[in-house]
């Protein structure tokens, strides 16, 4: 359910319109909502165990491990879109939601298991590392993709969605 609430939080107070896809004000919320919809659709079509609307599902079984080559390329396109899209809005809350979604869905690895921490120390290490990952990814997105405009992201997003969902839809149709 956390993915649903994240997309709802980003789109709250936004009026949906065709122009919102082209303006910075609504483009980030639209981009995040559609990307979450594609990721949830992929997880559901792929049969990833767990609730597809829960962040824990993607942390337990990373998307990169379930994807074949075209789907990995699609995930990379969506990853770049989210990194670039994080800078489209000035809202601090939306930037935090972007960084959380990127960190959970695309870089889900934790620190506690790697260094052998357990209990409360492991939880604190993982939470700290999670936000460090999110903030670093957000900074990378702002620095590396600062020149992009919202209209430039949609072809890349469409390519990523087609590469991610296409093979699964073909597999279902052929089976």
Tens of pLDDT, residues 75-101: 999 888 888 776 665 566 777 777 788
Tokens of 53: 């609307």
pLDDT tens digits, residue range 5-64? 455 445 544 444 444 444 455 777 788 888 888 988 998 988 888 888 887 788 778 888
Q: What is the pLDDT of residue 88?
A: 62
Distance of CA 100 to the CA centre of its chain: 8
- Whether pLDDT at 173 is above 60: yes
Residue 151 buriedness (CB in 10 A; 0-12 / 13-18 / 19+): exposed
Residue 147 Cα distances to 21, 55, 62, 88, 142, angstroms: 17, 30, 30, 11, 9
Separation of alpha carbons 124 and 85, rounded Å: 29
* H or E segment to which residue 159 belongs: helix 150-174
Separation of alpha carbons 106 and 79, rounded Å: 7
Tokens of 105: 């869905």
SS3 88: coil
Q: Report the interhelical angle of 119-144 vs 92-106 (nearest 10°).
A: 110
| DSSP secondary structure code for residue 108 in this structure | -
Separation of alpha carbons 138 and 96, rounded Å: 8
The pTM of the full predicted model, rounded to 2 decimals, is 0.75
Mean pLDDT taken over the chain: 77
Name the residue range of residue 137's domain.
2-174
Domain count, the chain: 1
Separation of alpha carbons 20 and 22, rounded Å: 5
- Whether pLDDT at 163 is above 90: yes
- Whether pLDDT at 123 is above 60: yes
Separation of alpha carbons 153 and 155, rounded Å: 6
Which residue's entry shows tokens 């670093």? 136
Instruction: Give the confidence band of 73 by pLDDT, cuts at 50, 70, 90.
Output: very high
């Amino acid at each position: 359910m956390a993915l649903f609430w994240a997309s709802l939080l980003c789109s709250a107070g936004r009026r949906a319109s065709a122009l919102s896809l082209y303006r910075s004000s609504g483009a980030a919320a639209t981009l995040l909502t559609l990307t979450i919809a594609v990721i949830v659709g992929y997880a559901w079509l792929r049969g990833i165990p767990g609730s597809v609307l829960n962040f824990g599902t993607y942390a337990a079984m990373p998307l990169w491990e379930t994807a074949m080559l075209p789907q990995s390329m699609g995930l990379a396109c969506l990853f770049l879109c989210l990194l670039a899209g994080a800078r489209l809005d000035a809202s601090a809350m939306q930037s935090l939601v972007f960084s959380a979604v990127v960190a959970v869905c695309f870089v889900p690895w934790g620190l506690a298991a790697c260094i052998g921490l357990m209990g409360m120390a492991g939880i604190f290490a993982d939470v700290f590392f999670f936000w460090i990952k999110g903030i670093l990814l957000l900074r990378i997105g702002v620095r590396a993709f600062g020149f992009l405009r919202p209209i430039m992201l949609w072809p890349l997003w469409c390519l990523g969605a087609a590469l991610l969902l296409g093979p699964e839809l073909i597999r279902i149709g052929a089976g």
